[in-house]
Structure 1
Amino acid sequence: MTGSSALSKAKGFKKSRSGTYLSIGTTAFGAIGVIKQARKARSEQDMLKLVDAAVSAAAIVTGLAILYRELKRLGDDDVLMG
Structure 2
Amino acid sequence: MAKKAKNFKKSKTGAYVSIATTAFGAISVAKQAKLARNDHDTLRLIDAAVSAAAIVTGLAILYRELKRLGDDDVLLG
TM-score range normalised by the length of the shorter chain = over 0.9
In structure 1, C-alpha distance between the alignment counterparts of 2:43 and 2:24, rounded to whole Å:
23
Root-mean-square deviation (CA, aligned residues, Å) is 0.3
TM-score, length-scaled by structure 1:
0.93
Which residues of structure 2 form unaligned runs of 5+? none
Cα separation, 2, equivalents of 1:28 and 1:7 = 26
One-letter amino acid of the structure 1 residue matched with residue 67 of structure 2: K
Runs of 4+ aligned structure 1 residues displaced above 6 Å come to none
Structure-2 residue corresponding to 1:44: 39
Q: Distance in 2 between matches of 1:11 and 1:25?
A: 18
* TM-score, scaled to structure 2: 0.99
Gaps of 5+ in 1: 1-5
Which whole-Å CA distance do the structure 2 matches of 1:77 and 1:51 have between them?
39
After superposition, give the CA deviation of every residue in 1:38-62 in whole Å (9 maximum; x if it has no partner). 0000000000000000000000000
Separation in structure 1 between the aligned mates of residue 15 and residue 44 of structure 2, nearest angstrom: 30
Identity level (%): 74
Larger radius of gyration: 1
